[in-house]
Amino acid sequence: MSSASLDGMTALVTGAGRGLGLGIAQAMAAAGAAVMLVSRSAEELERAAAEIAAAGGSASAAVCDVTDAAAFGRLVERMDDLDALVNNAGINVPQPFVDVEEETLDRILRVNVRAAFLAAQAAARRMIARGGGGAILNVTSQMGHVGAANRSAYCTSKHAVEGLTKALAVELAPHAIRVNAVAPTYVETPMTAPFLADAAFRDDVVARIPLGRVGRIAEVAAGVVFLASPAASLITGTSLVIDGGYTAQ
């Protein structure tokens, strides 16, 4: 059986300064990967890299706004190796559909779709040039599979990346590059904290999840590690929905 170890691999994780991105980076480092942490906050990145190093992992950090495609492309080109990209950076601004401003819509699409598209493009170019294959993991959401009130822009963006995942999986397969998505339910992170702090909202969310609780960062990170590893060598073009049964209903 193929190993779920990431020994000898180099991974780049966007939005890695905190929350889900940090948890993913920590899990990949613990599995043996050398991890490049990318976000806009130098302070968060330095702290994250230090935490990974203290735990015995290998991590480096680069301050970069993923919406700056040219800067991100230069960062990837400077890497000696790139075996896995985790497109994790994203935003959500819940609003009633009729109240969504053009500026908000553009911002969500710029971060969640455009930046993910161009980051994957930069990574694929590097992997093809290197000739060793690789894995691209897009962190989407259960909202990339269903719809929800006040999430029109977010759902639009995550459905788009689910479609991108399938298209890239087909096109990049001849280069031995696997492309998959990880679609979590509500997870306890800094981004979801303001929503989940509302008792009524949290109770409604939990009532919709058959397993009866929100997710944990480690549970999503484990899925990313698996899909990046040789254990998932025949898996491409799919979405691992880590949602406690939310979308099964």
Positions marked catalytic: 154, 158
Alpha-helical regions (H) of the chain: 19-30, 42-54, 69-78, 102-109, 115-130, 152-172, 193-196, 199-208, 217-228
Cross-strand partners of 113: none
What would the two tokens of residue 24 be?
């993913």
Cross-strand partners of 35: 11, 59
Nearest to 30 by CA among 222, 234, 180: 222
DSSP-based three-state secondary structure for 120: helix
DSSP, res 188: -
Ramachandran angles phi, psi of 165, nearest 5°: -55, -45
Cα–Cα distance between 64 and 117 in angstroms, integer? 16
CA atoms 159, 161, 15, 169: torsion sign: positive
DSSP-based three-state secondary structure for 41: coil
Cα–Cα distance between 188 and 116 in angstroms, integer? 23
Give the chain's count of helices (H) and strands (E).
Answer: 9, 7
DSSP-based three-state secondary structure for 187: strand
Name the amino acid, one letter, at 146.
V
